[in-house]
Amino acid sequence: MIRFENVTKVYDQKSRPALDGIDLEIDRGDFTFLVGPSGSGKSTFLRLVLREERSSSGDVYVAGKNVARVPSWRVPRLRRGIGVVFQDFRLLPNKDVFGNVAFAMQVIGKSRYLIRETVPEVIKLVGLEGKEHRMPHELSGGEQQRVAIARAIVNKPGILLADEPTGNLDPATSVGIMNILDKVNQNGTTVVMATHDDDIVNSMRRRVIELADGRVVRDEKSGEYTAMIPVVNADGTRELKPAGEVRVASAAGSQAIAPFDSEEDEL
Amino acid sequence: MRLAFILSEIGSGLRRNLSMVVSVVLVTFVSLSFIGGAALLQMQINQMKDYWYDKVQVSIFLCADNSSSQTCAAGAVTDEQRADIESKMESPAVAQYVESYQHETQDEALTHFQDQFENSPIVDTVTADQLPESFRVRLVDPEKYEVINELFSSMTGVDVVVDQRELLEQIFSIMNVASLVSLGIAGVMIVCAVLLVATTIRLSAFSRRRETGIMRLVGASKLVIQLPFVLEGVIAAVIGAMLASGALWAVARFFIEGQLAQQYPGTAFIASSQVWVIAPVLVILGALLAGISSMLTLRRYLKV
């Protein structure tokens, strides 16, 4: 579904590349975590998939198409196949829940009938039935993120990109959001989620791709948040508990400011 | 659906940016008024030229009963004097300069006058004996007016020799200068209007960057994203152009037709209906200016 072939992205010739020779493939229906400290290239990865940026070298394939070869007037069509969710929700403050979700259909010219049909279904899927006419400021953070997810999936994209979707939410709310993303994934959508939240990654046991300084340093089928600290016991089983203290200490270091960084704002 | 959506986007954009939109309307209104004013002046000039040019270049007015020049001391022109003038006109010395000439009696002068001012109330009050009899001379080379002037102005029975072209040209040159000044002001104002449209669109794009960002992400086409902004500028400019047309019509109707034409019945003025020739041009011009400037602005400030 998403394939990177030796992709390098350089923003500024003088500094090191944001992505440096990335080779990886994410299959249809996968649920993949993208982890790594700030500046490791997670956002650049997502921007390349969205064709917000073009790779400096190497090819990015999304749904079988080389995005560099997609002419600019076809880019909107490409993006219709990709849903995006952000840390800061990005809802329209002057539209209610229904309006925010419907907006994604209106702007691509879907019929009023189809909108009336589809939007309530999706709102129900994210667990917001009965709150269609609330305004965003009348919702909690978790509910706002649910609206954002509903908006991202209402056009039934094949891929859902989530950039720190739980970054502004408390752990309990985050679990709710993850359950929704899981449900979306089970409906067949490929989900790629960039995150700093180790608890979530560890509890989900999904594929983990770890980036550091623009390189893939780890790619595990059902991994945990970090491999920097060995958490595998001598007998080969994974045990979280003994490594817990060590891991939390190191993760906290990279997480302290991360949820508030704004490098993704442009996206 | 998409059309309704774009329209509602335009509506919300216009409301949100009301003060800027009003300033765009006013600036285009003023600048297009000046352009329209210049156009009206040119039309006025053409109106006068059409009538006067090619008809008469030099008029030799003959003495009437009330003429006061020295050559008319003997009173109105006699048949003999008239014949003298005519024979002089035919003489080889003069004939080489004259392409054609025409004698205009007082009755003909009246008909002529009535044609010219058929819309003016003065027509009813003028009688033939108030108008002088004249020879209307068309010269081979209009510059040789002085020759005719020298030859005829001292003859008895000739009241005055007038090069009407020269008289008209003075008026026209004043009017031309006025229309150039008007165009100059219009030029400056149009630069203002274009920059203001650009700023307004920029502001509008900035205040709606959340919407446009989301539109981009869910795959809205460039047209759907940009059209509301472009149309916002175009609508404001078109309103300005319509106001300008209205103002010009009001000036033509109430000032030119209502006042000038009454006060100076001797001059052929343009009619207010002629504003409707200018109005569509102004509207199209306004729309084009706003459209182009907003498209250029969007290319820089609205990533798609």
Whichever domain contains B135, its CATH number is 3.30.70.3040
> pLDDT-derived band of residue B10, with 50, 70 and 90 as boundaries?
confident
Output the pLDDT for position A168: 87
Same domain, B196 and B134: no
Same domain, B39 and B109: no
State whether residue B213 sits within 8 Å of chain A by CB: yes
Q: Phi/psi at B144 (nearest 5 deg)?
A: -85, 25
> Of B165, B182, B197, which residue constitutes the final position of a domain?
B165
Residue B269 falls inside a structural domain? yes
Q: Please answer yes or no on whether A79 and B219 come within 8 Å at the CB atom.
A: yes
Whichever domain contains A17, its CATH number is 3.40.50.300
How far is the C-alpha of A161 from the C-alpha of B11, rounded, in Å? 32
Mean pLDDT of B125-143: 77
State whether residue B222 sits within 8 Å of chain A by CB: yes
Output the pLDDT for position A252: 42
Range of the structural domain that residue B11 is part of:
2-51+169-299
Output the pLDDT for position B53: 61
Question: In B53-91, which residue ranges form alpha helices assigned H by DSSP?
Answer: 79-90
How far is the C-alpha of B261 from the C-alpha of A210, rounded, in Å? 86
Distance from CA of A106 to the nearest CA of B (A): 7
Same domain, B39 and B121: no
Q: Is the pLDDT of residue A266 over 70?
A: no
Q: Please answer yes or no on whether B217 and A84 come within 8 Å at the CB atom.
A: yes
A55-64, A129-138, A203-212, B154-163: segment of lowest average pLDDT: B154-163
Higher pLDDT, B135 or A261: B135
Output the pLDDT for position A254: 43
Same domain, B205 and B130: no
Q: Please answer yes or no on whether A92 and B214 come within 8 Å at the CB atom.
A: yes
> Of B165, B189, B206, which residue constitutes the final position of a domain?
B165
B37-51, B212-226, B278-292: segment of lowest average pLDDT: B37-51
Which residues does chain B have within 8 Å of residue A267's beta carbon, measured at their own beta carbons? 217
The strand order across the sheet containing B58-62 reads B98-104, B134-139, B58-62, B158-163
Output the pLDDT for position A243: 39
Residue B304 falls inside a structural domain? no
> Of B117, B135, B165, which residue constitutes the final position of a domain?
B165
Query: Of all residues in chain B, what percent carry a pLDDT higher than 90?
Result: 15
State whether residue A159 sits within 8 Å of chain B by CB: no
State whether residue B93 sits within 8 Å of chain A by CB: no
Closest B-chain CA to A154: B218
> pLDDT-derived band of residue A163, with 50, 70 and 90 as boundaries?
very high
Whose CA is closest to A50, among A164, A161, A149? Answer: A161
A77-86, A136-145, B101-110, B194-203: segment of lowest average pLDDT: B101-110
Same domain, B81 and B230: no
Whose CA is closest to A78, among A54, A98, A94, A114? Answer: A54
Residue A39 falls inside a structural domain? yes
Q: Which residues, 6 or more positions from A52, have their beta carbon under 8 angstroms from its beta carbon?
A: A266, A267
Query: 3-class DSSP state for residue B134?
Result: strand
Domains: count for chain A: 1
Higher pLDDT, B148 or B32: B32
Report yes or no: A174 and A163 within 8 Å, Cβ to Cβ.
no
State whether residue A111 sits within 8 Å of chain B by CB: yes
Report yes or no: A35 and A225 within 8 Å, Cβ to Cβ.
yes
Q: Please answer yes or no on whether B210 and A90 come within 8 Å at the CB atom.
A: yes
State whether residue B2 sits within 8 Å of chain A by CB: yes
Query: 3-class DSSP state for residue B158?
Result: strand
Query: 3-class DSSP state for residue B119?
Result: coil
State whether residue A107 sits within 8 Å of chain B by CB: yes
Structure-token match 């702007």, residue found: A107
Residue A97 falls inside a structural domain? no
Residue A137 falls inside a structural domain? no
Residue B274 falls inside a structural domain? yes
The strand order across the sheet containing A65-66 reads A19-26, A2-9, A57-62, A65-66
Domains: count for chain B: 2
Q: Please answer yes or no on whether B218 and A110 come within 8 Å at the CB atom.
A: no
Same domain, B87 and B181: no
Same domain, B161 and B174: no
Taking each helix axis as running N to C, give the angle between helix B79-90 and helix B145-153, from 0 to 180 degrees, rounded to the nearest 10: 150
Q: Please answer yes or no on whether A107 and B1 come within 8 Å at the CB atom.
A: no
Q: Is the pLDDT of residue B55 over 80?
A: no
Which residues does chain A have within 8 Å of residue B2's beta carbon, measured at their own beta carbons? 106, 109
Output the pLDDT for position A162: 94
Q: Is the pLDDT of residue B213 over 60?
A: yes
Condensed to tens digits (0 to 9), the pLDDT of residues A16-38 reads: 888 998 999 999 999 999 998 88
Same domain, B141 and B225: no
Which residues does chain A have within 8 Å of residue B225's beta carbon, measured at their own beta carbons? 107
Q: Please answer yes or no on whether A50 and B217 come within 8 Å at the CB atom.
A: yes
Closest A-chain CA to B4: A106
Query: Of all residues in chain A, what percent carry a pLDDT higher than 70?
Result: 83
A178: number of Cβ within 10 Å: 22
State whether residue B210 sits within 8 Å of chain A by CB: yes
Output the pLDDT for position A120: 95
Range of the structural domain that residue A53 is part of:
2-81+157-259
What residues of chain A, 32 to 51, have a C-beta less than 8 Å from chain B?
A: 50
Same domain, B207 and B279: yes
State whether residue B3 sits within 8 Å of chain A by CB: no
How far is the C-alpha of B266 from the C-alpha of B10, rounded, in Å? 51
Condensed to tens digits (0 to 9), the pLDDT of residues A68-107 reads: 888 988 889 899 999 999 999 999 998 999 999 999 998 8
Q: Is the pLDDT of residue A251 over 50?
A: no
What residues of chain B, 239 to 268, have a C-beta less than 8 Å from chain A?
A: none
Q: Is the pLDDT of residue B142 over 90?
A: no
Output the pLDDT for position A237: 57
Same domain, B212 and B259: yes
Q: Please answer yes or no on whether A80 and B1 come within 8 Å at the CB atom.
A: no
Q: Is the pLDDT of residue A8 over 80?
A: yes
Residue A17 falls inside a structural domain? yes
Same domain, B46 and B178: yes
Same domain, B206 and B281: yes
Output the pLDDT for position A244: 40
Q: Is the pLDDT of residue A113 over 50?
A: yes
State whether residue A104 sits within 8 Å of chain B by CB: yes
Q: Is the pLDDT of residue B141 over 90?
A: no
Size of interface A-B (CB pairs under 8 A): 59
Q: Please answer yes or no on whether A111 and B1 come within 8 Å at the CB atom.
A: yes
Q: A106, A115, A154: best mutation site toward chain B, by most B Cβ within 10 Å?
A: A106
Complex-level ipTM: 0.74
Q: B10, B212, B214: best mutation site toward chain A, by most A Cβ within 10 Å?
A: B214
What is the average pLDDT score of chain B? 83
A115-119, A164-168, A246-250: segment of lowest average pLDDT: A246-250
> pLDDT-derived band of residue B1, with 50, 70 and 90 as boundaries?
low
Enumerate the β-bridge partners of residue B40.
none
Residue B295 falls inside a structural domain? yes
